[in-house]
Chain A
Amino acid sequence: MHFLGSLAWFVVDWGRACALRRPPPGRVFEEAYAIGVKSLPVLLTISVFVGTNLALQGYNAFVPLGGQRLVGMFVALAGIRELAPIIAAAMVAAKAGTEMASQIAVMKTREQIDALEVMAVNPLWWLVTPRLYGIVLVMPALTVIAIFTMLLASYAVATLQLGLNGAVFLEFARNATSGADLLAGIVKGFIFGIVICFVSTYCGFASTKGPEGVGQATNAAVVISSVACVSINYLVSQVLYG
């Protein structure tokens, strides 16, 4: 509860000082590029193998019941609505979120945050705002990339390895989902981006000084961001599909 309260105050402080202020020039796209590029390789890799296994497990579940055509539907529903957004969030939390927390914690240890204050630059504006806008820009795109990578990998395994009919796979996938599901995935990515940014930067700012503090901040950022995203994912899914 103490953590949630402190995090809430951190967000309020940011809102009061920075919400209506233009971000530091040039830094949003710098951050968006860094977050996107750093997270992309691991996101693609994980998405491919989650996609392959979705197809395998769908096949194993439905074939004994005579419903092998349902594999496409299963992959599309589970992948687009749930797994791709949450995997994108987990990978961004693991790569970009940990980097945010550790960079800010190191800056705190080296008095660079104090230096910003003394130079009359609000650290929340300089350090949080560009990361927030950057992650909000790239998270929906990363979620869409995760969705299509996962579907492609599932399709490849279903058709090339399991011998399913590709046209049937795609038809059932298409019929089970709609553009609204894709939009929901994008909205989830947007929300997860905000959560990861605030949790990770807060962990950096709240860290104790020294190497141990940096390690603890980094660890807390990935654990708390992931748990928060999974929990919020359930709530959003409950609202949308419950």
Chain B
Amino acid sequence: MDDAPIVFDGVSKRFGALTVLDNVSLTFPKGKTTAVIGPSGTGKSVLLKHIVGLLHPDSGSVRVLGVDMARARPDAIYATRKRLGMLFQDGALFDSLCVGDNVAFPLMQHRRDLSQRQQRERVEEVLEMVELPGLYDRATSALSGGQRKRVGLARAIVNEPEIVLFDEPNSGLDPMTSDAIDALIHTMKARLGITFVVISHDIVGTINVADHIAMLYQGKLIAHGTTAEVVRMEHPILRRFLGRNLILPEADDPSPPHLPGVP
């Protein structure tokens, strides 16, 4: 795990009397998808904000691509962020810009080496990857919830980041659109081979996309391992969260666990 791009070491975070993260130590393996799961209000989003340096731990450290995100100088933090991409819950698209300009935003800020034509070509390429070809000039107000997520995903990957973070990629979506987003994450993972971190309380989606799972409960890390390991753990809270009807394959069956009716 020496080359792990994200390392949490004994991280604690309190807001007033509420302990949101309690001595969390966790590594996110390179080139894998790690899902951080847990009930609402258990510290998942706070953990994500520590990765991008929007929040700092009260104790412990968060190292991202070798940079301590709490103690580094602002220019080092900004330099690290250029190597990250993030999909926000509702996309966090800029209303004043069209779809293409939203996606091109990181390129316009940080890739002056690319001509406008090259930037446009790159934007159209990633829009095609997220299955939204030809939408460059569309207003963001004309997009559906699923389309906003895809545009947000296109913006997150346009600058070829080493890590992509997903904050509740399925929230607010109908089951079919949710499945489509999961499939997209799956395709991206295979195609780009970069490190993904997915924050979610959607069990079906998580099990479909994750190589590793970490579960937070009341600020503590109560389970961590490969997806196959975690779904077999007997921790009572984990079992309650995963649900009784999760179908586990036989021990010698390499297929992943799944829910009834879910391919």
Contact = CB atoms under 8 A, between A and B. Distances in A.
A119 B79 contact: no
Interface residues of A, number: 12
Contacts of B93: 112
A120 B105 contact: no
Nearest to A24: B109
A120 B94 CA distance: 15
A183 interface: no
Interface string B63-93: 0000000000010001101101010111011
A12 interface: no
Which of the listed residues A111, A115, A122 has the most CB atoms from chain B within 10 Å of its own CB? A115
Nearest to B110: A120
B237 interface: no
A120 B88 contact: no
A1 interface: no
Contacts of B106: 119-120
Nearest to B88: A111
A8 interface: no
Contact of A112 (B74, B82, B92): B92
Contacts of B86: 115, 118
Given A119-B106, A120-B109, A120-B110, A114 B81 contact: no
Nearest to A17: B74
B62 interface: no
A114 B90 contact: no
Contacts of A121: 109
Nearest to A110: B92
B129 to A, nearest CB: 19
Contact of B94 (A17, A112, A114, A117): A112
Contacts of A122: 78
Contacts of B82: 120
Contact of A119 (B53, B54, B89, B109): B109
B88 A119 contact: no
B92 A111 contact: yes
B77 to A, nearest CB: 8
A111 B90 contact: yes
B52 interface: yes
A122 B81 CA distance: 11
A119 B54 CA distance: 12
B109 A115 contact: no
Interface string B23-60: 00000000000000000000000000100111000000
Contacts of B78: 120, 122
B92 A117 contact: no
A111 B52 contact: no
B93 to A, nearest CB: 8
A17 B78 CA distance: 12
Contacts of A17: 74
12 contacts: A17-B74, A114-B49, A114-B54, A114-B88, A117-B53, A117-B81, A118-B84, A118-B86, A119-B81, A119-B105, A120-B81, A120-B109
Given A119-B106, A120-B106, 17 more contacts: A17-B74, A110-B90, A110-B92, A111-B88, A111-B92, A112-B93, A114-B49, A114-B54, A115-B86, A115-B88, A115-B92, A117-B52, A117-B54, A118-B81, A119-B109, A120-B81, A120-B82
The 8 closest A-B pairs by CB, nearest first: A115-B92, A120-B81, A111-B92, A120-B78, A120-B82, A118-B86, A111-B88, A118-B52
